[in-house]
Chains A and B, each alone.
Chain A
């Protein structure tokens, strides 16, 4: 299966003014190639949450996106501190975000569960002091 679109983005650390640009760009691509609006929205939410996470927790990172006619696969990785207890981090409301992030309107502990809710496949690879990779797959047609 050929990937029709491949994109790479850098996610800067702690920069709230440009955080979300990668997700915004992917959103535009999906709309342009005619993906259904509800799928575009699900993908945007999942990717944006992961992008914000990499910015807040991972000291920034990178996003690699592959789109073909059936699905989008988004890989967001950072070389940050990693997640010590993934089950705990997946719980709604659990957050390690500092107050400065909460003041920006984020860090309510909903990010990972929200990514799960809006993706068809979610895979998280993480190791303490090494970093985290979040792999999100969204299918364009529900099987």
Chain B
């Protein structure tokens, strides 16, 4: 699923500029604990989280995560947007809570783990 389709599905705003709209997202991981993201996710392309701090972007970078969705109406801070743009990571923000946003994506074909 491509980023614009994801944004539409969970009514999310895309917060970063200059992203590659052809990036294909196959798998996702939902967590507020970055420790869990680091320990359990194998090859996630999308992270859904309610945590807003620069380490979310850093964790995404280390894990090769291509896009991060901030849930429950949270918005990434300016320094996070800057950092994400520099690393080519797409940031999105939705008003849906974590469970609902994850459910909508799962139902539409993005499952837990890829290869």
Enumerate chain A residues within 8 angstroms of B79, measured Cβ to Cβ: 17
Q: How many residues of A contact B (CB 8 A)?
A: 26
CA distance in complex: A16, B80 (Å): 12
A48 touches B39 (CB 8 A): no
Q: With an 8 A cutoff between CB atoms, is A24 at the interface?
A: yes
A37 with B64: in contact, given A45-B38, A111-B35 (CB under 8 Å)?
Answer: yes
B38 touches A48 (CB 8 A): yes
Q: How many residues of B contact A (CB 8 A)?
A: 20
Enumerate chain A residues within 8 angstroms of B61, measured Cβ to Cβ: 20, 24, 27, 44
- The 8 Å CB contact of A48, one of B32, B33, B51, B58, is B58
Q: With an 8 A cutoff between CB atoms, is A19 at the interface?
A: yes
- The 8 Å CB contact of A110, one of B35, B56, B59, B62, is B35
Interface string of A1-38 (1 = CB under 8 A from B): 00000000000000011011001100100000000010
Nearest CB in chain B: distance from A92 CB, A: 8
Nearest CB in chain B: distance from A72 CB, A: 15
Interface of B is mostly: helix
- The 8 Å CB contact of B58, one of A24, A108, A114, is A24
B62 touches A19 (CB 8 A): no
A106 touches B55 (CB 8 A): yes
- Of residues 54 through 76 on chain B, the ones whose CB sits less than 8 Å from some CB of chain A are 54-56, 58-59, 61-64
B64 touches A105 (CB 8 A): no
Q: Which residues of B contact A (CB under 8 A)?
A: 32-36, 38-39, 49, 51, 53-56, 58-59, 61-64, 79
Q: Which residues of A contact B (CB under 8 A)?
A: 16-17, 19-20, 23-24, 27, 37, 41, 44-45, 48-49, 52, 92, 104-111, 113-114, 117
